[in-house]
Amino acid sequence: MLLEVRDLHVEFHTREGVAKAVNGVNYSVDAGETLAVLGESGSGKSVTAQAVMGILDIPPGKISGGEILFQGQDLLKLKEDERRKIRGAKMAMVFQDALSSLNPVVSVGDQLGEMFQVHKGMSRKDSRAKAVELMDRVRIPAAKERVGQYPHQFSGGMRQRIMIAMALALEPELIIADEPTTALDVTVQAQVMDLLAELQRELNMGLILITHDLGVVADVADKIAVMYAGRIVEHAPVHEIYKAPAHPYTRGLLDSIPRLDQKGQELYAIKGLPPNLLAIPPGCAFNPRCPLARDRCRTEEPPLYDVTESPVPRASACHFWKECLHG
Amino acid sequence: MAEAILEVRDLHKHYPLTQGILFKKQVGAVKAVDGVDFDLAAGETLGIVGESGCGKSTVAKMLVNLERPTSGSIRYKGDDITTLSPRALKAVRRNIQMVFQDPYTSLNPRMTVGDIIGEPYEIHPEVAPKGDRRRKVQDLLDVVGLNPEYINRYPHQFSGGQRQRIGIARGLALQPEIIVADEPVSALDVSVQAQVVNLLANLQTEFSLSYVFIAHDLSIVRHISDRVGVMYLGRIVEIGSDAQIYDHPTHPYTQALLSAVPVPDPEARAHRERIILTGDVPSPANIPSGCRFRTRCWKAQERCALEVPLLAVPAVFRLTDSPAKHDSACHFAEEKQVVPPENGENGEEHEETNGTNGGDTPKSL
Q: Which CATH number fits domain B4-17+28-225: 2.120.10.30, 3.40.50.300, 1.50.40.10, 3.40.640.10?
A: 3.40.50.300
C-beta atoms of A270 and B194 within 8 A: yes
Q: What is the pLDDT of residue B248?
A: 92
Q: Which amino acid is at A73?
A: Q
Give the helix ranges, DSSP H, for B78-132.
86-95, 113-123
Q: Which of A184, A192, A247, A260 to mutate to test the interface with B (most CBs of B within 10 A)?
A: A260
Closest-CA distance, A298 to chain B, in angstroms, reads: 22
CA distance B20 to B2: 51
- How many C-beta neighbours within 10 Å does residue B117 have? 28
Q: What are phi and psi of B36, to 5 degrees?
A: -115, 130
Query: How confident is residue B363, by pLDDT bands cut at 50, 70 and 90?
Result: very low
Give the pLDDT of residue B46: 95
Indicate the Cα dihedral angle B276, B282, B283, B288, nearest 10°.
-160
Q: Tell whether the model's pLDDT for residue B9 goes beyond 70.
A: yes
For residues A189-200, give the mean pLDDT.
85
Q: How confident is the model at residue B341 (pLDDT cuts 50, 70, 90)?
A: low
The reply to whether residue B222 touches residue A186, judged by beta carbons under 8 angstroms, is: no
**Is B165:B144 a contact under the CB 8 Å cutoff?**
yes
* Polymer length of chain A: 327
Distance (Å) from the alpha carbon of B281 to chain A's nearest alpha carbon? 9
| pLDDT(A36) > 90 | yes
Rounded Cα gap, residues B188 and B57, in angstroms: 18
Q: Check residue B342 and give its pLDDT.
A: 55
Instruction: Specify the higher pLDDT residue, A177 or A138.
Output: A177
Position A324 pLDDT exceeds 80: yes
Task: Give percent of chain B with pLDDT exceeding 90.
Answer: 40
Alpha carbon of B280: minimum distance to chain A alpha carbons (Å): 8
* A59 part of contact set with chain B, CB < 8 Å: no
Interface pTM (ipTM) of the complex? 0.76
How far are the Cα atoms of B52, B241, B263, B341, B355 from residue B47, in angstroms, in the given order?
A: 15, 10, 20, 21, 27
Q: Closest by alpha carbon to A260, among B256, B340, B250?
A: B340
Mean pLDDT, chain B, whole residue set: 85
Q: How far is B226 from chain A (nearest CA, A)?
A: 10
Substitution target in A160, A186, A212 with the highest count of B β-carbons within 10 Å is: A186
- Tell me what pLDDT residue A227 has: 93
- Put simply, the chain A residues between 91 and 110 with a CB less than 8 A from any chain B CB are none
Instruction: Say whether residue A216 is in contact with chain B using an 8 A CB cutoff.
Output: yes
Instruction: Tell me which range, A8-12, A93-97, A178-182, B184-188, is most confidently predicted by mean pLDDT.
Output: A8-12
Q: Does A156 touch chain B (CB under 8 A)?
A: yes
Domain ranges (residues) in chain B: 4-17+28-225, 243-355
Please report the pLDDT score of residue A196 as a whole number: 86
State the DSSP code for B122: H
What band does B210 get if pLDDT is binned at 50, 70 and 90? very high
Residue-level pLDDT at A3: 92
Instruction: Pick the more confident residue, B131 or B308.
Output: B308
Per-residue pLDDT of B95-105, as tens digits, reads 999 998 887 88
* A256 close to B193: Cβ distance less than 8 angstroms: yes
Interface test with chain A among B223, B283, B337, B339, by most A beta carbons within 10 Å:
B223
Our measurement of the distance from residue A173's CA atom to the centroid of its chain's CA atoms, rounded to an integer in Å, reads 15
**Phi, then psi, of A227 in degrees rounded to 5:** -110, 145
Chain B CB contacts of A155 below 8 Å: 280
pLDDT, tens digit, for every residue of B214-272? Answer: 988 888 899 899 999 999 999 999 999 988 999 999 999 999 999 888 888 888 777 77
Report the distance separating Cα A196 and Cα A138, nearest Å.
9
Contact A293, A315 (CB under 8 A): no
